[in-house]
Chains A and B, each alone.
Chain A
Amino acid sequence: AQTVTQSQPEMSVQEAETVTLSCTYDTSESNYYLFWYKQPPSRQMILVIRQEAYKQQNATENRFSVNFQKAAKSFSLKISDSQLGDTAMYFCAFMKPSGGGADGLTFGKGTHLIIQP
């Protein structure tokens, strides 16, 4: 079974700063997918960014980027120029390549990110 570990229960930074959320995972699979989800106070689960393990290039989506270190099984999320609207719970998640069924997402416990004005 896969495990996903987020070692930072809570983080707080000032608006406009850059913040990095850490995530490590454990798997025996060689190919898989990794994701970061954002959950604002509205409870909605929003996909922020995805990474396919066989792609060496780190994914980026506007102010969000990842540092994917496959050998170290590390998948950190960097948020640049942080904004008040980035305040949310952030979940790291793992999925095996077969997708669906028993291979639904395995989530970490989450990091509560607070952006201070």
Chain B
Amino acid sequence: NAGVTQTPKFQVLKTGQSMTLQCAQDMNHNSMYWYRQDPGMGLRLIYYSASEGTTDKGEVPNGYNVSRLNKREFSLRLESAAPSQTSVYFCASSGRESFYNSPLHFGNGTRLTVT
């Protein structure tokens, strides 16, 4: 089972460039999330999607947009990258049927550097 797949693993952008981080899960989960991880800050929720067709802001949504393309895929877009968006980004998913075993299934992260 692939679980949660994120692409790319690494990315370097110049200030002002745009890019989309891709995420797909094969566990038929309803909920999907994007977190960012910064040193000394833990993981902070950017956006989440409780079900296909819905998205909502988390704690730190500014500078990002998301799309829940279908039940499997949840993408994160940076329209105009800024150095403050240098971070490690994690996609995660959850489903109530798997909750007891693992509340969130994480991808392996994308390390993004904005210069």
Alpha-carbon gap, A107 to B38, bound state (A): 12
Alpha-carbon gap, A43 to B111, bound state (A): 10
> How many residues on the A side are at the interface (Cβ–Cβ under 8 A)?
24
Q: Which of chain A's residues have a CB closer than 8 A to the CB of B30?
A: 100
The answer to the question of A33 belonging to the interface, with a C-beta cut-off of 8 Å to chain B, is: yes
CB–CB B40/A104 < 8 A: no
Interface residues on B, range: 20 to 34
Q: For B50, give its contact among A45, A91, A100, A106 (CB under 8 Å).
A: A100
Number of A-B contacts (CB under 8 A): 63
Interface residues of B in 66-99 (CB under 8 A from A): 88, 90, 92, 94-96, 99
A63 nearest CB across to chain B (Å): 20
The answer to the question of B108 belonging to the interface, with a C-beta cut-off of 8 Å to chain A, is: yes
**Chain A residue, CB-CB nearest to B43:** A107
Chain B positions within 8 Å of A, measured between CB atoms, are 30-31, 33, 35, 40-45, 48, 50-51, 56, 58, 88, 90, 92, 94-96, 99, 102-104, 106, 108-109, 111
